[in-house]
Amino acid sequence: MTAIDIEKFRLRHFVEKLVQQGECVVHDDPIDLIDVAAVLDCNPQAVWFRTVGPEKTELVGNVMGSRRRLAAALDTDEAGFPAALRERLQHPIAPIEVPSAQAPVHEVVLTGKDADLTTLPVHLQHGLDGAPYISASIDYARDAKSGFTNIGCRRLMLRGPHAAGVDLNAPSDLRALYQAAVARGERLPVAFAVGSHPADFLAAVAATTPMDELDVVGAVRGAPLPVVKCATADIKVPADAELVLEGYIDERGLVEPEGPYGEYIGYYGQLKSNPVFHLTAITKRRDALLQTVTIGGARLAFTDTAQLGAAKTEAAIWNVLQHAVREPVAVCCTASSGGMYNVRVSLRQRNPGEARNAIAAVFSSSGDVKHVFVVDEDIDVFSDEQIDWALATRFQADRDFVMASGFRCVPLDPSLQGSRTGAKAGFDCTKPFGKGGSAEFTVPQPPKMPQRPRRSLEAALAEGPATYLDLMAALGTRDGREILREFDKLYREGRLKRLKDGRYALNAGASGSEC
C-alpha cells in the first residue's frame, strides 16, 4: 500500500495554521450553545471555541468564510486560488483504503443508544430556525448502479437523539439516489462527515463529472484521500475526519416537516417536507474538533457557504467560457450575492460580439446566476471600484443591456414573488470592438520621460506630430515650461497647429516651417 500521511489534512491542524496566520481567533472562555451564533455572525475571522456547553467540547466555525482561507487550504494566495482549484480538479486521484484500526475517525465507535445526536455541540444558528442544525456535514452515499461514491454538502435538522431531517428539496445527486432507492423499496445508506478540511468541501461543491467523487477529493487535496469502511454501512468515508454520522434514509419515502432555516442567500427558507435520516452509529476521534458552517446573515461575504458557492460558480463558468469566447481572462462571482447571483467576466476581445457570447454562455450555464457583467481585460473583476467605473463609463443601457426571462431559477430568491421562473440580465461593459486604443478610451497615466538624444523643439516637430511629453523628451527637459515659451513664438509666426488627436505639428504651409 502507498504510504500516506493520514494526519496531513486533519481539520484541527488546518485550524492551528489559521491561528498562526491571524485568520482564526481562539475563544477560551466557556460559552453556552445559544451564544455561539452571535460570536460568528458577520465575523471576518474563523473562531475556535475551546469550551462549549456543559460537556466543554471544542467547536470551530467560519473556517472557510474568506477567499484567503480557502486559498490557504490549497497552499496558494487569493490571486492564485481560482486557477489552482481549476488545475487540481483536472487531475483525479484515487483514494487509499485503510483498516479500521488505523483510521483516526474510528478511535471511538458508538452504536445503538450510545449513538446520540444530542450529545454533540449543535447550536441554534438563527432566531427562527426550526431546531439546531448540523451545518458542516459532507454526505457520502454509494450509487448502487455505478458503484461510485457520491459526495455533497447537506444540512441536518436534529429531530431527536437518533433522527434528523435531510434537505433534499432541491435537485441533487443524493436526491436522485434516494428516489431510486425508494423505487427499489430499499433503504439508502448514507454517512455524514462533520469536521473536514476545506479541500473536502471544495470537492463536494465543485464535483460535476460522473465519476467516483472520492477521486475528486483526492484531486483537490492533491493527494489520495484515506478512506475507511463505515462501521454499520457499506460506505467509504474519510479516515481522517473528525467525526462521522452513519445511518440511512428509509425506503418508505417518509417525509417530515423541516425548517424554517436561515438560508445562504441571506433570508429564511420556509418550512418544507424532507426525508428523515436515521442514525446507526457515531464514529470519531478521541479529541474530535467539531465544526459548524456559517450560513446567511447580514454579511454574506463573511460566510462559509457564500465563499464556497463563489468558488464553485467561478470554476463552472470558466469551463463554459472556454467554448464560448476565444480568450477569457478571469471570472468572479461575488460572495456578497450569495456566491452565485452576480458574476463578473473579463475577456480579451478578439472578435465583435464576444461580450454578448459570454453573457449568453453564462446565462445558460447555471440556474443560479442572475446578473452578468462583462468587461475588458484591463478591468480587475475582483475590484468593486473598477467594475463600478466600467459600468459607469463603458455601458449604455439602450445598447449594451441584455435581458431574457423564463429561466429556471433558485426558488429561495424572494424577488420571484412566487414565480417558478425568473429573468437574467447582462451588462456589456466592454469598450467598442476595435476602439480599445482610441483617445476616448485611453486611461490617463502619470508622464514617463523616455530617454532620447536632445534636439531643438523645431527639430522634434519636423520629425512629425508629437505630444507634449514627446517634446519634453526631445528637449531633455524635466520642467517643460520652456516649451510654452517657444510655442508662443511659433504661434505668433503661424507655424504651429494642433491635430484632432491633440498632438502638436508644424504648419507646413506657413513661411519658415523648415528647421
Residue type, 452: R
With respect to residue 449, please indicate whether it lies within any of the assigned structural domains. no
Question: Which residues are 111's β-sheet partners?
Answer: 281
Indicate whether 123 and 145 sit together in one domain.
Answer: yes
Which helix H or strand E contains 55, and what residues bound it? none
Strand, helix or coil for residue 439: helix
- What pLDDT does 437 receive? 66
* Domain annotation covers residue 346: yes
Residue whose C-alpha is closest to residue 370's, from 415, 333, 448, 424: 424
431 residue type, one letter? K
3-state helix, strand, coil in the chain (%, to 5): 30, 25, 45
Domain of 35: which CATH number?
2.30.110.10
Q: Is the CB of residue 128 less than 8 Å from the CB of residue 116?
A: no
Task: Give the orientation angle of helix 81-89 with respect to helix 304-321, to 10 degrees.
Answer: 70
Residue 441, SS3 per DSSP: helix
21 Cβ contact list (under 8 Å, min separation 6): 72
Sequential DSSP letters for 472-488: HHHHT-SS-HHHHHHHH
Let me know whether 185 and 154 are in one domain.
yes
Question: Is there a domain that residue 183 lies in?
Answer: yes
Place of cell 456589456: 428
Residue 336: how many other CB atoms lie within 10 Å: 16
Backbone φ and ψ for 99, nearest 5 degrees, come out as -70, 155
Asked if residue 229 and residue 254 are part of one domain, the reply reads yes
Identify the pLDDT of residue 511. Answer: 39
Q: CA 323: distance to chain centroid?
A: 21
Q: What is the largest CA-CA distance in the chain?
A: 107
Query: Rounded to an integer, what distance in angstroms lies between the CA atom of residue 497 and that of residue 495?
Result: 7
DSSP 8-class letter at 431: P
**Rounded to an integer, what is the distance from CA 215 to the centroid of its chain?**
21
pLDDT for residue 512: 38
Q: φ and ψ at 327, to 5 degrees?
A: -140, 75
483 shares a domain with 352: no
Provide the pairing of β-strand 401-408 with 24-27: unpaired
Alpha helix ranges (H) inside 111-236: 173-184, 198-206, 214-221
Does some domain include residue 85?
A: yes
Q: Give me the half-sphere count of Cα atoms (radius 13 Å) on the Cβ side of residue 367.
A: 13
Whether residue 267 is found in the same domain as residue 369? no
Asked whether 81 and 67 are in contact (CB, 8 A), the reply is yes
On whether both 268 and 195 belong to a single domain, the answer is yes
Rounded Cα–Cα distance for residues 361 and 116 (Å): 48
Q: What are phi and psi of 223, to 5 degrees?
A: -160, 155
Residue pair 321/363 in contact by the 8 Å Cβ criterion: no
Strands (E), 114-162: 133-142, 149-160
Cα torsion 388, 414, 304, 87: sign: negative
CA distances from 375 to 273, 328, 379, 446 (A): 43, 10, 6, 24
Residue 445 lies in a domain: no
Last residue of a domain, one of 292, 319, 339: 292
Q: Are residues 107 and 157 part of one domain?
A: yes
Judge whether 4 lies within some domain: no
Residues 338 and 282 in one domain: no
Q: At 389, which CATH number?
A: 3.40.1670.10
Q: Is 87 inside a domain boundary?
A: yes
Contact 372, 317 (CB under 8 A): no
Q: What is the pLDDT along the chain (515 residues), one digit of tens a residue?
A: 467 899 999 999 999 999 999 999 999 999 999 999 999 999 999 999 999 999 999 999 999 999 999 999 999 999 999 999 999 999 999 999 999 999 999 999 999 999 999 999 999 999 999 999 999 999 999 999 999 999 999 999 999 999 999 998 777 899 999 999 999 999 999 999 999 999 999 999 998 778 999 999 999 999 999 999 999 999 999 999 999 999 999 888 778 999 999 999 999 999 999 999 999 999 999 999 999 999 999 999 999 999 999 999 999 999 999 999 999 999 999 999 999 999 999 999 999 999 999 999 999 988 889 999 999 999 999 999 999 999 999 999 999 999 999 998 888 899 999 898 999 999 999 999 877 666 677 787 888 777 767 788 999 999 999 999 999 999 989 899 999 999 999 999 999 999 998 999 999 754 333 33
If asked whether residues 338 and 469 sit together in one domain, one would say no
442 Cβ contact list (under 8 Å, min separation 6): none
In this structure, the answer to whether residues 281 and 401 fall within a common structural domain is no
Domain boundary among 379, 405, 435: 435
State the distance between the two ends of the chain, measured CA to CA, in whole angstroms: 85
What global pTM score does this model have?
A: 0.89
**Domain total of the chain:** 3
pLDDT of residue 436: 64
Q: Is the domain of 241 the same as that of 309? A: no
The secondary structure of 105-124, three-state, reads HHCEEEEHHHCCHHHCCCCC
Structural domain boundaries enclosing 486: 457-506
* 418 in the same domain as 347: yes
Q: Give the integer Cα–Cα distance in Å for 268 and 287.
A: 34
In a domain, 515, yes or no: no
Q: Which residues contact 105 (CB under 8 A, 6 or more apart)?
A: 228, 237, 238, 239, 240, 241, 242, 243, 244, 283, 284, 285
Q: Distance of CA 84 to CAs 15, 73, 308, Å? A: 21, 11, 15
Question: At which of 292, 324, 355 does a domain end?
Answer: 292
